[in-house]
Amino acid sequence: MTTTFTTTYAGHGTHRRRLRRSAVPLLAQLVMWTGAAGVLALWWSDTTSVTGPAGWLTGAGRITGLLAGYACAVLLALMARVPVLDHTIGTDRLARWHAFGGRCTVGLALAHTLLIIWGYSLSTHTNAVDQTATLVLHYPDLLKGTAGFLLFLATGVLSARAARRRMSYETWHYLHFATYLAVFLAFGHQLSNGADFVGNRTAQAAWYVLFLAVAALLAWYRFAVPVRRGLRHRLRVAAVHPEAPGVVSVHLAGEHLDELGGEPGQFLRWRFLTRGLWWTANPYSLSAPAHPRYLRITVKTAGGHSAALAHLAPGTRVWAEGPYGGFTAHRRTEHKVLLLAGGVGITPLRTLFETLPGPVTLVYRVRRVEDLALRAEIDAIAAHRRATVHYVVDEPARYSSPLTAQGLRSLVPDVAAHDVYLCGPPGMAQAATRALREAGVPARRIHHESFAF
């Protein structure tokens, strides 16, 4: 039984296109693990023997310290927004790697601190408190290193999932700038006190090259490129139009926008140069294919920043960072495609619906009929390309359909033969992923990019 109200047009396909999976994620992991092996080799080559409890504890402290320092460089590189990584691995996957690496780094730094204090205490036959005071107050650069460690530890704790739920995206985003200061403060003490660096000019040079290279990536892609593009493209707000309750489209005009290279499905980080908004850059997807002189985003009120966009004045200057993300046609491997949207998750899928070649089906889920943003455009696209759209609405119940394997098969009987692009709130995305897997869609053909922080 069909429980959706549906606009259907006889579909026709174009030639089948299969794309090889990118080797970049594997190469990136290989480089990271090779670097970690190199760090361990540095300790091994500089250690002649380890004897007694003090020696073992101090040795373990040296290893964890070296790995923690190296991991800091990796964490910063992952979030440097290097296009080749961002477009092939995907922003959300990089964020997951970064989050996992952050937990490991905090653990390594904490272990390094405790093991070194314990090992030195046994060597000097002093208690842990006295040994800590001696290290912090009398060893070169250890006071700064301690401040960096405490700052890094605080950032890690506040970045835990339970804490993130209680803070805004803007607070979380700027909290992470503290990690730059933490790494800077902690950097010097490794070269001043680390047994593997003192007197080892080659190791010191390699460490400087590593961190200076990462600093250059951050300076270029996080700061220089956005400033250059802001001056080049001269983006400004052209108009703001309501699309649904709590949802608005922001139309932007600019120059040379084709140079941005934004693909359907990607997002940019937008900095609106007006009071209360200029200090943060928030991620919003393009909700229409990029034009050389016009761009558009569609935003749902979900906090102070997004709510303020409804009141933007025409002419407001805008800086755009990006485009970012790998949620594009390049992930496609099958002839048939299913686009599964929840709420404002329709924004990147609307651009893919217009531009993906071949048979494409769109399933758009919302709570109420009036929440269907961009519906007129979607119907026009469906009519033009003779595609199928299913609107699934929770209220009224007669237009509802459960987000289960059976519910998906009732809409798309051969769903297992599709590539699926999925975008929606976290709860909906998790439920949809489970339903798709139960319906026979392999995990490699479920393409999802989360914008949650």
> 220 or 91: which carries more pLDDT confidence?
220
Q: How confident is the model over 25-45, as pLDDT tens digits?
A: 888 899 999 999 999 999 898
> Residue 8's pLDDT is what?
42
Q: Specify the DSSP element, H or E, that contains 392.
A: strand 388-395
- pLDDT at residue 176 is higher than 50: yes
> How far apart are alpha carbons 350 and 266 in whole angstroms?
11
> Residue 390's pLDDT is what?
93
Q: In what order do the strands lie in the sheet with 317-324?
A: 282-285, 267-272, 317-324, 235-244, 247-253, 294-300
Amino acid identity for residue 378 in this structure: I
Strand 247-253, strand 294-300: pairing? antiparallel
pLDDT mean over 173-191 = 82
> How far apart are alpha carbons 195 and 178 in whole angstroms?
28
| DSSP secondary structure, 82-113, as one string | -HHHHHHH-HHHHHHHHHHHHHHHHHHHHHHH
Confidence of residue 12 (pLDDT cuts 50, 70, 90): very low
> Residue 64's pLDDT is what?
94
> Residue 11's pLDDT is what?
37
> How far apart are alpha carbons 264 and 254 in whole angstroms?
18
Quickly count: other Cβ atoms within 10 Å of residue 400's Cβ: 16
> Residue 322's pLDDT is what?
84
Q: In what order do the strands lie in the sheet with 388-395?
A: 5-8, 388-395, 360-368, 336-342, 418-423, 446-448
- pLDDT at residue 319 is higher than 60: yes
Nearest CA-CA partner of 120 in 96, 95, 105, 138: 138
- pLDDT at residue 296 is higher than 60: yes
Domain 234-324 has CATH 1.10.390.10: no
Nearest CA-CA partner of 285 in 332, 347, 214, 194: 347
- pLDDT at residue 453 is higher than 70: no
Tokens of 342: 């929840």
Q: Are 356 and 337 in contact (CB under 8 A)?
A: yes
- pLDDT at residue 20 is higher than 50: no
Fold of 5-18+332-448: Rossmann fold (3.40.50)
> How far apart are alpha carbons 345 and 237 in whole angstroms?
22
What pTM value is reported for the model?
0.76
- pLDDT at residue 169 is higher than 70: no
> Residue 1's pLDDT is what?
30
- pLDDT at residue 110 is higher than 60: yes
> Residue 161's pLDDT is what?
67
Q: What radius of gyration do the chain's Cα atoms show?
A: 26
- Reduce the DSSP state of residue 188 to 3 states and report it: helix
Helices (H) and strands (E) in the chain, counts: 16, 12
Nearest CA-CA partner of 80 in 100, 101, 94, 69: 94
Q: Are 84 and 441 in contact (CB under 8 A)?
A: no
> Residue 14's pLDDT is what?
33
Strand 5-8, strand 388-395: pairing? antiparallel
> 106 or 48: which carries more pLDDT confidence?
106
Confidence of residue 451 (pLDDT cuts 50, 70, 90): low
Per cent of the chain over pLDDT 70 is 90
Tokens of 248: 């608005």
